[in-house]
Structure 1
């Protein structure tokens, strides 16, 4: 591939195999990095689940399927904060590792890949790279996975505090790793033996940071680099989602008319990662809006909403790009997903975070410490309305959000991540 204009002397094109799995918040940042790498003249192949494979192709990227994804219904332990992450790994991720390794090896050989770039829970990626004799690089979409004693990380079940003593943080990190290893290592080692790889301890965390570079896809304002971060770790910045993968990404005529005929509404969304909680959550939010006359745009992501619950001051849509909607909002109420948070910070909009699972508790805590949000426990029935009233009525939240907006303006996390991968590969 010819050297692109402006490339430094000695530049060489890389052939990159990118893979990820999970919800939209896991795919969109890595697709953004893939687009940046392609724009810089590198050859890209994406290995993804359906329908993300076809969405990658719509962005002009080559893509292959990771194979059929298991249908995993979120219920029982998968919906409980403390148990949810381990249950998700055991039921939805680990059973796929052998098939993922095979799919990545096939795609890598077909693409003649120089490097595999994988999401931090793409557990098969480092194994495939090792068997192929090529390097791998990790891209992490939320800072909770970067355990640090220097940074306050709030894990599910922990109180949200500004500070914890080093002793408490050491204990929390050690306990989390010990429990994860005990519940995950036996399953992963069964697959390792079948693939001819040696049995290992601490497989998940050790493999996660074993790459030639570890890319943190968030801004340092949100989670700064720490002295005890794993070697070769770099905080790159939030990644804007690539061109939105819908026929008409702009708000439709009905939504535009709603936005133009009244005060800025609140936006209510649960993203795509907690569908089990949507119906009850939306009912509570709409009940408060109806009681107070607060204008609201409800984004369901396809979840069911009883039409009788929607007040005249509200409007319901399956999906509207947040980048288009949030600049016209008074606040956003959401689950604590980092994609939603990044969009809100770029728009300078205050938030109410209602975390349910995984990294959402840590994300919500970081937003609270920035002064841009209030966190509400998902089972606190009366707390949601009070929190919305607080962030929309107290100008300090909007002021703090505008301060963060200015700090991250102009960031290009995708290009920074691409540069770091080039540097690690000597390209």
Structure 2
């Protein structure tokens, strides 16, 4: 047990996490690490994550049912770059009340600290009632607004060349006309029911109180002068080993041993309508004579002529797989690109929605990959880009440089210490007569 953890002793961490595996697994990793440091930890997350919480030895309360979770990802509109935000926020709104109830029910005065993912809005509402220490975890830079380096929002061009005032107006316009109308009515209706004032701008309220932890390093997204003072930047967190166990791991190892390094292919654990994209990626590899490993959340039929060169499985820990690959084709999820950075392999990114456009743009600016628009993604265009990617000495050198930065950089211990420090300061404030 760490020295500060031993002194605290009584800390009970309530973790609320909303989203797919890429959103929830990092919070489970933090919870497991805090549990190993001697703290009590309880996670509220979508029902399918219960077994993974048990593997991490932390308590669990389901938010909704497995059917609710499946329904949230069943709508193909979710993966629209323009309309997906509204569909996502409908699911987020449905989780406000049960997440609020989880914190209110589990809270114990002077013992509780609340740790929430970006979309666990009900936890933030509850903290306003219980007045306990609070930490929000942002995995993606797109959630942080700035007049200086503005994130790239879905459906908008990159704003880096615009004057600061115009960048800021465009971000406020996105809030006013897209983000806030999709969620604030439901959030404010719930807040009104418990006597709280309405939220005027969601992305301001996200970061207005407590500690904000940014789980990406400065070389990926530099800390901006106008980010809030309560924000603290740590680094990427490796959580892939906490994913669902898969009985194909031995067969995967045999495939990797049987030939040249393959190309990894994935479009995310929540993408249920990507069969055409997966087929195009497999065909692109075949056109170049490359083997590939495909991680896909649903069954995928591989044409007979490609089967000896393709291995398909539902899940694989990328920290194990990617160092044995020569490149990766993916959607731009933050966890996937972080693992590709650590493995030192080039990335061909096909952004689908949400933060993926901003993430992809940052990979490109680092010189570690190329971007291909979804509507242009086909076997021949993908093969052409993949050939360029693998032939580029400049990209290979950039990937090697970023991989060196990732050595020994897992932020889990630093995050745990931050949680303990926030709680310790809260207890000290109570001891001096604070609330």
TM-score normalized by structure 1?
A: 0.91
Corresponding position of 2:221: 223
Give the distance between the partners of 2:415 and 2:277, measured in 1 at CA. 35
Q: Label 1:92 to 1:309 Cα distance change in 2 as closer, same or farther (>3 A).
A: farther
Aligned to 1:72, what secondary structure does the other structure show? helix
Q: Label 1:250 to 1:33 Cα distance change in 2 as closer, same or farther (>3 A).
A: farther
Corresponding position of 1:327: 323
Give the distance between the partners of 1:247 and 1:189, measured in 2 at CA. 40
Give the distance between the partners of 2:24 and 2:191, measured in 1 at CA. 26
Corresponding position of 1:198: 197
Give the distance between the partners of 2:369 and 2:163, measured in 1 at CA. 24
User: Would the aligned equivalents of 1:334 and 1:354 in 2 still touch at CA under 8 Å?
Assistant: yes
User: Would the aligned equivalents of 1:224 and 1:235 in 2 still touch at CA under 8 Å?
Assistant: no
User: Would the aligned equivalents of 1:274 and 1:356 in 2 still touch at CA under 8 Å?
Assistant: no
Corresponding position of 1:289: 285
Corresponding position of 2:309: 313
1:329-348 map, 5 Å: 329-348=325-344
User: Would the aligned equivalents of 1:67 and 1:103 in 2 still touch at CA under 8 Å?
Assistant: no
Q: Label 1:7 to 1:94 Cα distance change in 2 as closer, same or farther (>3 A).
A: closer
Aligned to 2:96, what secondary structure does the other structure show? helix
Aligned to 1:316, what secondary structure does the other structure show? strand
- C-alpha displacement of 1:187: 2.1
Matched, 1:64 2:92: no
1:109-128 map, 5 Å: 113-128=111-126
Corresponding position of 1:415: 413
Give the distance between the partners of 2:12 and 2:48, measured in 1 at CA. 23
Corresponding position of 1:368: 364
Give the distance between the partners of 2:248 and 2:162, measured in 1 at CA. 44
Give the distance between the partners of 2:265 and 2:75, measured in 1 at CA. 23
Corresponding position of 2:146: 148
Corresponding position of 1:95: 94
- C-alpha displacement of 1:188: 1.6
1:158-237 map, 5 Å: 158-160=156-158, 163-179=161-177, 180-202=179-201, 204-237=202-235
Give the distance between the partners of 1:245 and 1:343, measured in 2 at CA. 14
The answer for unaligned runs of 5 or more in structure 2 is: 426-435
Two-structure CA RMSD over aligned residues (Å) = 2.4
Give the distance between the partners of 1:77 and 1:300, measured in 2 at CA. 19
The answer for unaligned runs of 5 or more in structure 1 is: none
Corresponding position of 2:79: 79
Aligned to 1:106, what secondary structure does the other structure show? helix
Corresponding position of 1:354: 350
- C-alpha displacement of 1:294: 1.5
Aligned to 2:332, what secondary structure does the other structure show? coil
- C-alpha displacement of 1:125: 0.7
- C-alpha displacement of 1:239: 0.8
Aligned to 1:234, what secondary structure does the other structure show? strand
Give the distance between the partners of 2:257 and 2:119, measured in 1 at CA. 42
1:171-207 CA deviation, whole Å, 9 max, x = no partner? 22111111222332222211222233223322x2233
User: Would the aligned equivalents of 2:292 and 2:310 in 1 still touch at CA under 8 Å?
Assistant: yes
Q: Label 1:307 to 1:300 Cα distance change in 2 as closer, same or farther (>3 A).
A: farther
- C-alpha displacement of 1:78: 2.6
- C-alpha displacement of 1:249: 7.8
- C-alpha displacement of 1:251: 3.0
Give the distance between the partners of 1:251 and 1:8, measured in 2 at CA. 36
Corresponding position of 1:392: 390
Aligned to 2:374, what secondary structure does the other structure show? coil
- For residue 238 of structure 1, the aligned residue among 230, 236, 239 is 236
User: Would the aligned equivalents of 2:29 and 2:56 in 1 still touch at CA under 8 Å?
Assistant: no
User: Would the aligned equivalents of 1:21 and 1:122 in 2 still touch at CA under 8 Å?
Assistant: yes
- C-alpha displacement of 1:7: 3.7
1:8-27 map, 5 Å: 11=8, 13-27=10-24
Give the distance between the partners of 1:227 and 1:27, measured in 2 at CA. 29
Q: Label 1:305 to 1:167 Cα distance change in 2 as closer, same or farther (>3 A).
A: farther
User: Would the aligned equivalents of 2:25 and 2:242 in 1 still touch at CA under 8 Å?
Assistant: no
1:26-58 CA deviation, whole Å, 9 max, x = no partner? 011111221222233322111122121221111
Give the distance between the partners of 1:264 and 1:242, measured in 2 at CA. 21
The more displaced of 119-128 and 301-310 is 301-310
- C-alpha displacement of 1:157: 1.6
